[in-house]
Structure 1
Amino acid sequence: MTMAALLSLPAALALLLLAAHGLRFGDMGLLCACLGCAALLFTRWAFARTVCLVALAAGSLLWVDTALTLTAVRRAMGEPWLRLGLILGGTAAFTLASGLLLATRRARERFSRNADAAPVQVAAFVTVVALLELARAMAPLPVLLVDRFPPGYGRLEIFALALYAALLAGAMLDPTRAARLRPRYWGLFSAVFFLQLILGLSGLPDFLMTGSLHLPVPALIVGGPLYRGGGYFMPVLYLSTLLLVGPAWCSHLCYIGAWDDAASRLPSRLPSRPPGPLPRYAWPTRSLALVLVVLAALTFRLLGVPGTVAVLSAAAFGLIGVGIMLTLSRRRGMMVHCTAYCPIGLVGNLLGKLSPFRLRMDAGCARFSRCGACARACRYGALSERDVARGRPGLTCTLCGDCVGVCPMKNPSTHMGYRLFALSPETSRRVFLAIVISLHAVFLGVARI
């Protein structure tokens, strides 16, 4: 066994002690998560070392907190406490020291696989853990499915989702691979979302967030609170997402948008052709749809229209959208539902400008190249000749990044790439991916009807 491998053994032992601590206090999720982190030490992924460092730092604080709590209890009861404090304090020191060994140069050399992707992967892993732990602690009911079936195993689901986010973020760093992966993981999210709905309707209410049913039509993010006069969780969540990643909700996180994307890729009776330009009727029809949703919701509320009628109206609106996907989106090879019908998409395009993320082309592409590869890949109609000449996508851009993956330049992320303040295009894209992949993994864990 090499010296680098030996340096990992104290960390593995420290994680096993934390797992035993979870078992002792009945926190089976903590047990499984610590065992999972220990297993990462047997890989060579660069992000695994940093993740374990964070886990060991948190573990040392957990031991200190446990020591202070238990010694305070013993002192209050007049029982001996010094030996207990020394044992737990020593365990905390050992956990911290094992992390310091893992931070040495030799240990870092052992964990060298995908070192370039490690910062993004670590950011995704830690962000998912932090957000899901916060949701788990603050929610008045179990928000994680695993907590609902074998109670107490929620941290196992958190660890699994964080690991999934880290691996996905690493894979998405390759722009050409990202264009193929995005529809797949977006479709996975939609499939999981609606599978939980089907299971909830089949008589398993634990698969529904609150145990009661809500209609999965995106327009209700606006219309629902206006009709009910309350229930602003989804609008707040939606707006928060827009602030973080702009209109990327519509290309990464919308459970219905994934259907439109899939429909636009289906074979059609017409000859195969690249996505067409944005239809002329797109802006008028989508603006009209938004106005109608708002007016209908307010009118139904003022007139006291029963909830059944409101639900049926919303369902009809959603079914029309599905029809548009299966006909127009499939025929045109572009996402007609999202760009010309969905009112939430319009809100996302407009308010998404509050986010600092942008897609831009450099001057060389806008003035000279114009090969059209990016326009042919865009299913949102956001790269017309006029848009390319201006050097930036149109308002229907959702930051999906498909255009970056097809750019023929050696470094496509600089020719057509993300922009965030004064950061380089590559760094901007990495920050964007870390955030949007983290949100995807969190939504995968908690987004239920």
Structure 2
Amino acid sequence: MDAPARATAPCATSRMPAAACLAPAALSLWLLAAHALRTGDRGLALAWALAPLLLAVPHGWVRRAAQLALAWAVLAWARAGGELIELRVAMGLPWARLAAILAALMLLAAAGMVLLERGPAARRHGADPAPHWPPALALALTVGLLAVCRAKVPFPILLPDRFLPGAGWPLVLALGAYAAWLVRALLAPGGGPGRWARLRLRAWGLFSTLFFAQLLLGLAGAERLLMTGTLHLPVPALIAAGPVFRGEGLFMAGLFLATVAVVGPAWCSWLCYIGAWDGAAAARHKVPRPLPPWRGPVRAALAALVLLTAWGLRVAGAPVALAVGLAAAFGLAGVAVMLLFSRRRGLMVHCTAFCPMGLAATLLGRLTPLRVRVGPGCTDCGACLRACRYGALSPERLAQGRPGGTCTLCGDCVARCPHAALGYRFPGLSPRRARALFAVLAVSLHAVFLGVARI
């Protein structure tokens, strides 16, 4: 957590108001907006023009995010200056005035960074007790990933761009700010031990709601809300079974593997559009009741059955309608599992004993270095056992110092532990920093999925 900044710059020791000290930062961002408008990108210009409004938010991450943006501005002006000067030299035109103007722009951005660090704004934002850098990094990561998606995908991946070309940039900024807000809310001190779980379930539910709302509106006639116009059943098992049956279509499988490579099995507890339903169903029961030991073999058998069925249908040349019908029946069976078992046991039975992708995520997730571990301060109070909805914790697992194979790194148990004995582990980082790293990665991917994940 950032300590409150010591105001030692001239701006801090004078009677100049904080708004005047924010002026260089705001002006630098508006100049970037003007530059984007000059290149014809009105959406990006609007995003840069709106960015200074965040400085009015009295949270420490705003200052850090603005400093990251200003550092990018310095690099952007340097790159643009180099290209323009090289062009003018090649054409035999004078370039000294251009170099001076761009140098002034770089100095203005650098001054904005310094005044944000030491000026009155530093005192205002520095008083925020929540961590400052993790939310700012979440904003930067979200914006960066969405910018890459927007640039590399051959069709408009962001919904606003489908209705008005260039309008996706304000959404990118909004999703970045949302990611920063959520990371701050998760990591801020106070709020009670159940806040992490409540925020996670609400954010997860928001993603699932938007995902299926877009699907239903698309089916109702708003076809631009659909991703490609080629519909796929929203059943997680089809991420693996679909390519086996079709012999192609690896996009969803690739997206699944990419996210598992970053956050491991947290795909199941933060990013799965169906898993949010199971989480809501299990939350209706306060104390989870564990499943019998044969849960693991049953899930493995179901996963094998799904893949073998998809392969058999392909070999047999079965019609697509039959495959779609079987997939729909499997999806409805999963919903029935949530209603009949997850609600009654307070445990996410669908995710831990039925869904093949849950098994894949927990197995592949072991390749990532992020872990949840039990430290020596554990008193066997049982608070974590009541928080875990994945059946990954038990007195035996606590004695071993690690959760079971169904752990999805959701973090509910970590937040619930009153003795800070449970925590995230990552090589080279303290448990506090490892938890912040996980929050940044998981929330950034969640925000990106809010913007791009559609059928």
The 5-angstrom pairing of residues 415-430 of structure 1 reads: 415-430=421-436
Alpha-carbon distance in 2 for matches of 1:87, 1:385? 67
- SS across alignment from 1:363: coil
Deviation at 1:105, TM superposition (A): 5.6
* Residue from 329, 338, 358 that aligns with 2:342: 329
Change (3 A) 1:364 1:104: closer
Establish whether residue 209 from structure 1 lines up as the match of residue 222 from structure 2: no
Change (3 A) 1:386 1:211: same
Deviation at 1:35, TM superposition (A): 2.3
- SS across alignment from 1:61: helix
Establish whether residue 91 from structure 1 lines up as the match of residue 97 from structure 2: no
Gaps in structure 2 of 5+ consecutive residues: 1-14
Alpha-carbon distance in 1 for matches of 2:84, 2:71? 20
The 8 Å contact of residues 187 and 258 in structure 1, kept in 2 or not, is answered as yes
Amino acid at match of 1:346: L
TM-score (norm 2): 0.90
Correspondence for 2:399: 389
The 8 Å contact of residues 70 and 109 in structure 2, kept in 1 or not, is answered as yes
Deviation at 1:67, TM superposition (A): 4.3
Amino acid at match of 2:365: G
Correspondence for 2:409: 399
* Residue from 422, 439, 448 that aligns with 2:445: 439
- SS across alignment from 2:359: helix
Deviation at 1:76, TM superposition (A): 7.1
Establish whether residue 198 from structure 1 lines up as the match of residue 204 from structure 2: no
Establish whether residue 103 from structure 1 lines up as the match of residue 117 from structure 2: yes
Deviations 1:17-71 (A, max 9, x none): 2222223333222222212321122233211112112222222333344445556
* Residue from 378, 382, 388 that aligns with 1:372: 382
Deviation at 1:109, TM superposition (A): 2.5
Change (3 A) 1:113 1:441: farther
The 8 Å contact of residues 205 and 212 in structure 1, kept in 2 or not, is answered as no
The 5-angstrom pairing of residues 217-256 of structure 1 reads: 217-256=235-274
TM-score (norm 1): 0.91
- SS across alignment from 1:418: strand
Correspondence for 2:40: 26
The 8 Å contact of residues 286 and 386 in structure 2, kept in 1 or not, is answered as no
* Residue from 48, 55, 74 that aligns with 1:60: 74
Establish whether residue 448 from structure 1 lines up as the match of residue 450 from structure 2: no
- SS across alignment from 2:131: helix
Pick which of 316-325 and 207-216 moved more. Answer: 207-216
The CA RMSD measured in Å over matched residues stands at: 2.2
Pick which of 93-102 and 433-442 moved more. Answer: 93-102
Alpha-carbon distance in 2 for matches of 1:154, 1:194? 21
Correspondence for 1:42: 56
Alpha-carbon distance in 1 for matches of 2:58, 2:50? 14
- SS across alignment from 1:383: coil
The 8 Å contact of residues 278 and 382 in structure 1, kept in 2 or not, is answered as no
Alpha-carbon distance in 2 for matches of 1:221, 1:113? 46
Deviation at 1:284, TM superposition (A): 2.2
The 8 Å contact of residues 381 and 396 in structure 1, kept in 2 or not, is answered as yes
The 8 Å contact of residues 43 and 167 in structure 2, kept in 1 or not, is answered as yes
Change (3 A) 1:7 1:215: same
Change (3 A) 1:424 1:97: closer
* Residue from 266, 269, 290 that aligns with 1:277: 290
* Residue from 144, 148, 155 that aligns with 1:130: 144
Establish whether residue 51 from structure 1 lines up as the match of residue 57 from structure 2: no
The 5-angstrom pairing of residues 117-156 of structure 1 reads: 117-156=131-170
Correspondence for 2:9: none
Amino acid at match of 1:11: A
- SS across alignment from 2:318: coil
Correspondence for 2:23: 9
Correspondence for 2:186: 172
Alpha-carbon distance in 1 for matches of 2:73, 2:377? 51
Deviation at 1:433, TM superposition (A): 0.7
Pick which of 384-393 and 15-24 moved more. Answer: 15-24
* Residue from 338, 342, 347 that aligns with 2:351: 338
Amino acid at match of 1:98: G
- SS across alignment from 1:214: coil
The 8 Å contact of residues 27 and 153 in structure 1, kept in 2 or not, is answered as no
Correspondence for 1:269: none
Establish whether residue 257 from structure 1 lines up as the match of residue 275 from structure 2: yes
Change (3 A) 1:70 1:424: closer
Gaps in structure 1 of 5+ consecutive residues: 267-271
Alpha-carbon distance in 1 for matches of 2:355, 2:168? 35
Amino acid at match of 1:389: A
- SS across alignment from 2:70: helix
- SS across alignment from 1:417: strand
Deviation at 1:312, TM superposition (A): 1.3
The 8 Å contact of residues 349 and 395 in structure 1, kept in 2 or not, is answered as yes
Change (3 A) 1:391 1:91: closer
Deviation at 1:81, TM superposition (A): 6.3
Deviations 1:146-178 (A, max 9, x none): 211121022111110110000100111155421
Deviation at 1:223, TM superposition (A): 0.4
- SS across alignment from 1:41: helix
Alpha-carbon distance in 1 for matches of 2:117, 2:382? 47
Pick which of 56-65 and 311-320 moved more. Answer: 56-65
Alpha-carbon distance in 2 for matches of 1:237, 1:158? 20
Deviation at 1:227, TM superposition (A): 1.1
Amino acid at match of 1:431: L
Alpha-carbon distance in 2 for matches of 1:48, 1:273? 37
Deviation at 1:83, TM superposition (A): 4.9
Deviation at 1:100, TM superposition (A): 3.5
Alpha-carbon distance in 2 for matches of 1:68, 1:81? 11
Deviations 1:177-221 (A, max 9, x none): 212111110000100111111111111221111122111110011
Establish whether residue 298 from structure 1 lines up as the match of residue 311 from structure 2: yes
Change (3 A) 1:214 1:15: same
Deviation at 1:432, TM superposition (A): 0.8
The 8 Å contact of residues 138 and 443 in structure 2, kept in 1 or not, is answered as yes
